[in-house]
Structure 1
Amino acid sequence: MTQHFVSTLFAIRSYFTWLPAPVVSVLMLAVVGFLGFYCGNVVTSLALRMPGTRSAALIRTIVAALRRPTRAMVMLIAMRAALPAATGFSFESEENIKLFLMFVLILTFGFSAIIVFRIMTEAYLNKLSTREQSDDIMIRTHQTQIRVLRRLIEILVGIVTVASALMLFPSVKQYGISLFASAGAASLVVGLSARGLLTNLIAGVQIAITQPIRMEDLIIINGDWCWVEEINATYVVLRVWDWRRYIVPISYFLENKFENWTHNSAAIIGVVFLWLDYEAPMDKIREMLGEIIKTCPLWDGKVFDAQVADCNGQVMSIRIIASARNALQSWDLRCDIREKIIARMREECPEALPRTRFAMVPPAPGMDAWPSADMISPPIQRPPPGSYMGPGSPTPPSAGPSL
């Protein structure tokens, strides 16, 4: 078929012998390139009209993304096939044109391979994201692996493509051979200069395999809540709750410890602390908390409890634990519990609210305490002097509330 194509070009060329041979060769390559470009456009247009099945939709997406590369490749292939009929060029010029066309063709093919690979992985990721499960560890695992490995493969394909294209030229090929021959010192210099890049690239592969972090994992770094927004080949983008972004080298997550709140599951137990007075009726407060938690839609119904966790000279500490489906819902759930229990205690048992206790003593023996009892509201009812001298003495009259 190629021979017939070249023979046809020779026959057409014979009609233009009255023009200089170089001009005829240039015009012939230009016309062949235009026809190849037009044929590529026709092929892609027909492919875009495929019936609307799911597989055909993916093919149409790939064809739409490859319209320009496809037309360029068809044009380059046609010009490469027509080059033997371009006898108006010298042997050296013909070889240079041949190398240039092959160089551009290899680069275009490598670029097209990267586009196809990216579209297919994006289609798979979109398919995963359409699932109804909002906390599927497998989905986030696949997303992380695909995104990290995709970038590494794109880098690898790009390097191989550029290297293959450059190896067409004898001068570059000889340079590459001499570089490999002297790999002793050269590899040491390159390795030292690119140590950080290589470390992060290798760390990216380890992240994809061992999965210490995944896409949309909630981690704690520098005291901030962060979500893993992007995992690139050499760095990770973390989205902070206030919309800031941390750009962290990917090797950080293999060399430093950090908290991952969604490693196995997004469900988490939140803790609420209340500081109440010793007069607080714990049974009634537990009952109120039980009523409150049942009205909270963010509670997942698994874990709930309220206990006296600690106490000091002024108040006692009440620890309330409640589970939620994820950290964000846990935060909102804890805020909801605080607001509702404080409102209930203010209305139903205000004696549970914390108060400060103090005692007034005279500055010196024989002097009255300041401020005096009549200056305090409500007044303090003290027992008469000498009415209570210790155990065995008459019981003193009940005193009023003391502050």
Structure 2
Amino acid sequence: MEDALRPVVVVGTAAAVTVAVGYAVDRALRAADARHPETPLWHLLRRCRLPLQVLICAAILRGGYRAAHVVRGRHLTATGEVLTLTLIAATAWLTVRGVTAVTDSAYARYAAVSRDVAKISRLRTQSTLIQRVFTAAVGVIAAASMLFTFPAMRTLGASMLASAGIIGIVAGVAAQSTLGNLFAGLQIAFGDMVRIGDNVVVDGEWGTVEEITLTYLVVRTWDERRITMPVSYFTGRPFENWTRGDPRMTGTVLLHVDHATPVDAMRKRLHEILEQAPEWDHRAWNLVVIDTTPTTLQLRALLTAKDAGDLFDLRCVVREGLVAWLRDEHPYALPRVSTAEAPGAPMTG
């Protein structure tokens, strides 16, 4: 009778303690979240409930499975190994969840009080890469700990340690590209070259940085394509970052018109168009003649906007408005090919 009750007592105790501790911790975090709604930390820490329960259950069963006589004989060692591996995996899982909650909470609190978009974007990029580096490190440590629970693996590790130098050199040469991207990712995170949300131009393509990992970077173009590039590209080649520092931009619209075009009236019309355009930030504007050809004048309309997206829209509005004004009010000012003889030219017989 006692032998039959032991497994029930051990397993039941493990289940009861697991459920009770998980419930108590969740209630405590709920109460802390209600008392401090200004910080999301307590709400984020509730994600740790499941790995905590797995850890507690595995620890109780690991400590009492021998006395419970749940398994016997050759299965006893195998059960102990499985519980040990589960304990290591649950510890790593809980650690990653806890650190992720802390970093996400720090980012959320800073983003809620800061008005500096550039710093918020930089912190987001750094926190994301830090989380991924930490997760990878914890995963490697957990995997190594699992392997070293097996005696055969410990022996193998000791024999391989003598040749670790040669293996390290070979691995370094073989993984040169991967390691280069890894260090490039860290350089981007802490060097503030490019951040999530930045508008960049790479290989002639304009887009917004959507994701940054340790090895690659994703740029979403204006037509919703995704360009995936190795992060080493941004540390080894020049690229344009239109939103690093100050996102405000100055743009131009070029037009070819006839020599008879009333430039002063066109300049006033440009100002009227800009006053009606919500994309214009009122910093600067101008219209000047920058070049002449035998048949046309080349005009440059200068305008400003708060960012690259508004600047593109504003250039389209100005170009369309000026061409429509010339067509309706001064059609003679549009470029044309002259087929009549010049005034005063001698008549040819």
Using structure 1 for the length normalisation, give the TM-score. Answer: 0.77
Say what the alpha-carbon RMSD is for the aligned residues: 2.8
Write the deviation string for residues 269-310 of structure 1: whole angstroms up to 9, x where unpaired.
111011110001212211222222222221111121111111
Select which of 187, 203, 209 maps to 1:206: 187
Write the deviation string for residues 341-393 of structure 1: whole angstroms up to 9, x where unpaired.
22222333333211212467xxxxxxxxxxxxxxxxxxx9988979xxxxxxx
Secondary structure of the 1:284 match is helix
1:332 equivalenced with 2:316 (yes/no) = no
Higher relative contact order (CA 8 A, sep 6+): 2
Could you tell me which runs of 5 or more consecutive residues in structure 2 were left unpaired when the two chains were aligned.
none
CA distance in 1, matches of 2:185, 2:344: 76
1:303 equivalenced with 2:260 (yes/no) = no
The alpha carbon displacement at 1:156 in A equals: 1.1
CA distance in 1, matches of 2:23, 2:347: 113
Using structure 2 for the length normalisation, give the TM-score. Answer: 0.88
- The within-5 A match list for 1:243-322 is 243-322=224-303
Tell me which amino acid in the other structure corresponds to 1:200.
N
**Corresponding position of 1:356:** 337
Write the deviation string for residues 41-85 of structure 1: whole angstroms up to 9, x where unpaired.
43244335415122675323322x122212111112222332463
Query: Larger Cα Rg: Structure 1 or Structure 2?
Result: 1
Select which of 72, 77, 89 maps to 1:107: 89
Write the deviation string for residues 322-344 of structure 1: whole angstroms up to 9, x where unpaired.
11000010011111111222222
The alpha carbon displacement at 1:123 in A equals: 3.2
Write the deviation string for residues 126-180 of structure 1: whole angstroms up to 9, x where unpaired.
44555684x7221111112111222112111211122123222222222222222
CA distance in 2, matches of 1:54, 1:282: 60
Distance 1:277 1:57, change over 3 A: closer
**Corresponding position of 2:100:** 118
* Greater Cα shift, 79-88 or 136-145: 79-88
CA distance in 1, matches of 2:295, 2:28: 79
**Corresponding position of 2:18:** 37
Judge conservation of contact 2:62–2:83 (CA < 8 Å) in 1: yes
CA distance in 2, matches of 1:298, 1:131: 27
Distance 1:66 1:385, change over 3 A: closer
* Greater Cα shift, 315-324 or 142-151: 142-151
CA distance in 2, matches of 1:80, 1:265: 58
Secondary structure of the 1:331 match is helix
Judge conservation of contact 1:62–1:119 (CA < 8 Å) in 2: yes
**Corresponding position of 2:327:** 346
Tell me which amino acid in the other structure corresponds to 1:104.
T
The alpha carbon displacement at 1:87 in A equals: 6.4
CA distance in 1, matches of 2:158, 2:306: 59
Judge conservation of contact 1:307–1:319 (CA < 8 Å) in 2: yes
- The within-5 A match list for 1:64-143 is 65-83=47-65, 85-86=67-68, 97-130=79-112, 133=115, 136-143=117-124
Q: Greater helix percent: which structure?
A: 2
Tell me which amino acid in the other structure corresponds to 1:305.
N
Judge conservation of contact 2:288–2:299 (CA < 8 Å) in 1: yes
Tell me which amino acid in the other structure corresponds to 1:192.
V
**Corresponding position of 1:187:** 168
CA distance in 2, matches of 1:101, 1:122: 31
**Corresponding position of 1:60:** 43
Judge conservation of contact 1:73–1:108 (CA < 8 Å) in 2: yes
Could you tell me which runs of 5 or more consecutive residues in structure 1 were left unpaired when the two chains were aligned.
1-14, 361-379, 387-403
